[in-house]
Amino acid sequence: MSVSGDCLGICFADHQLFYAVNDPARRNHLKYIGCIDFNFPVIEALINPESQNYDALKRSIGRLQHSYSNRNVRMLSPAVYECWTIFPRLVYETPDERDDHLSILMDGMPRSETEPIWFELSNPDYKLLLVRNRSITDNYRNLLLGFHQIDLVSEFEIGMEWRCLTGTKGSYLTVNCRHDHITVSSYLLGKLRGATFIRFDTVSDLIYFWNFYGQHLHWLHGIHEQVYVYGNNAMEIIETMGSNLNETGELITMNSLEQMQVIANESTYGFKLESAFPSVLLSLNLSGQMNKSHQL
């Protein structure tokens, strides 16, 4: 995707849609950052295209496009409707092995109904596989029909967008905080090392799940230079998990334009700015498709 022209970045959380519009004439500058409130859970509406809630979402996005005349749109794809797993390179490079593993992973779902995409990792002996259900991604694209170019970006790619913005080459952790799950990605020397999402019923349970997952995903307890925390429930997660996160690196809450390293005409907002952080990065449109190996 070209970086020229205005780009609309979109992400969702609970009953809200967050959006940002870039200013291509000025580096790291945004024309607008905003929020739309709904009376229904937005992410649930995404998978029900026959519902009135889905239609309401589509109309709202259409109004945004009309207001800002965007040709390009980049939308954060909810982690709960994706499957992420790490494959040995040997499996990836052997077509029969690759297809057999994919069939097992997707419980026999026909290949035509899946969208698998492979990502390079810091360890060259492995690759990260992202699989989406094509019927769900069709719903996403139907929401965005009026745009010239559409990019669906996974939660773990936000750290890649951050690298493109800041040029950081160190090790860092990104944590997107929702009311019932978090998504966590680790980067080593600026490259993706691993990613996961952790569901929970109550926030107080999260610390136990964090330690359990850490027994199998050692990078969760690894040392990072920074831990970037954002999302609708960032402050609640920090209150519960702060000591654990501080042990792995410098804790940084992405709740200001200064922390995001961007410029906008407005400096104060009537919503949690940390919730809009993914939409801000997506609107800058710095990475496009450069990090994806290819879609099979």
3-state secondary structure of 48: coil
Question: The whole model's pTM is what?
Answer: 0.91
Residue 91's pLDDT band (cuts 50, 70, 90): confident
How is residue 67 written in tokens?
Answer: 């207001």
190 Rama sector, left if φ>0, alpha if ψ -120 to 50, beta otherwise: left
Residue range 40-66: average pLDDT?
Answer: 94
Strands 181-188 and 250-253 come out as: unpaired
- Architecture of the CATH domain 7-80+134-288: 2-Layer Sandwich (3.30)
Look at 296 and 231; give whichever has higher pLDDT.
Answer: 231
The CA-based angle 54-42-29, given to 5 degrees, is: 105
Give CA–CA dist 164/154, Å, rounded: 16
Give CA–CA dist 128/120, Å, rounded: 7
How is residue 227 written in tokens?
Answer: 């831990």
Q: Which of 15-19, 58-62, 109-113, 201-205 has the lowest mean pLDDT?
A: 109-113
How is residue 260 written in tokens?
Answer: 């995001």
3-state secondary structure of 238: helix
